[in-house]
Chains A and B, each alone.
Chain A
Amino acid sequence: DVKVTQSSRYLVKRTGEKVFLECVQDMDHENMFWYRQDPGLGLRLIYFSYDVKMKEKGDIPEGYSVSREKKERFSLILESASTNQTSMYLCASSSPGTESSGANVLTFGAGSRLTVL
């Protein structure tokens, strides 16, 4: 069963701490994404990557950075966590192939619920 695995389901951190959210996929997908989900706001794109060592800013990149050193792993970093970063973080991956091969269909991880105190 193909999967996107997020290392932590629940985290509690203090303001100012550095936070790493790890995401690993086993589908050999080129594309990986980080979204955050907040009540009433839906899913908003933070960062994405279409290749190793490549990253692009999404709609709300402020306060975040990412790292993609290997194809299967995409990490989201909060350099100095703040209370307004309390949220559910969702990692996803997809293939850029053909439509018939399922291109552009996101497979999501289970999410990481981060609370910043």
Chain B
Amino acid sequence: AQKVTQAQTEISVVEKEDVTLDCVYETRDTTYYLFWYKQPPSGELVFLIRRNSFDEQNEISGRYSWNFQKSTSSFNFTITASQVVDSAVYFCALSEAEDSGNTPLVFGKGTRLSVIA
């Protein structure tokens, strides 16, 4: 069975600090997808990144970077030089790829990030 664990319930940082949000996953499949979504105070979830299990390259997009390590089943998300606009709830999610198609996304419980000016 697939499972996603976000151990950090809430994180608070001062603006311009770097912050890492942890995500650990469990799956028995060899082919799967990992995702990060952002939910700002307005409530609508916004897609940030998808990574497939065969691509362990780290990814950087502006101030955001993701570190995928299959050896530790982790897909951590780092925000560099955080800003107040980064304040949101961040969700990590997993989907397994099966012959019949991809399974629905299973989400972690989310990490609430507060960036203080």
Residue ranges of A at the interface with B (Cβ–Cβ < 8 Å): 33, 35, 40-45, 48, 50, 58, 88, 90, 92, 96, 99, 103-111
Contact = CB atoms under 8 A, between A and B. Distances in A.
B47 A106 contact: yes
Contacts of B35: 105-106
B44 A111 contact: yes
Contact of B102 (A40, A104, A110, A111): A104
Interface in B19-73: 33, 35, 37, 42-47, 50, 52
Contacts, number: 54
A23 B36 CA distance: 23
Contacts of B95: 104
B86 to A, nearest CB: 19
Contacts of B108: 42
A96 B109 CA distance: 25
A107 B104 contact: no
A42 B109 contact: yes
B42 to A, nearest CB: 8
B68 to A, nearest CB: 15
Closest 4 A/B residue pairs (Cβ): A42-B109, A43-B107, A108-B45, A104-B102
A71 B2 CA distance: 28
Nearest to B106: A45
B104 A110 contact: no
A65 B42 CA distance: 27
A2 B5 CA distance: 31
A106 B109 CA distance: 17
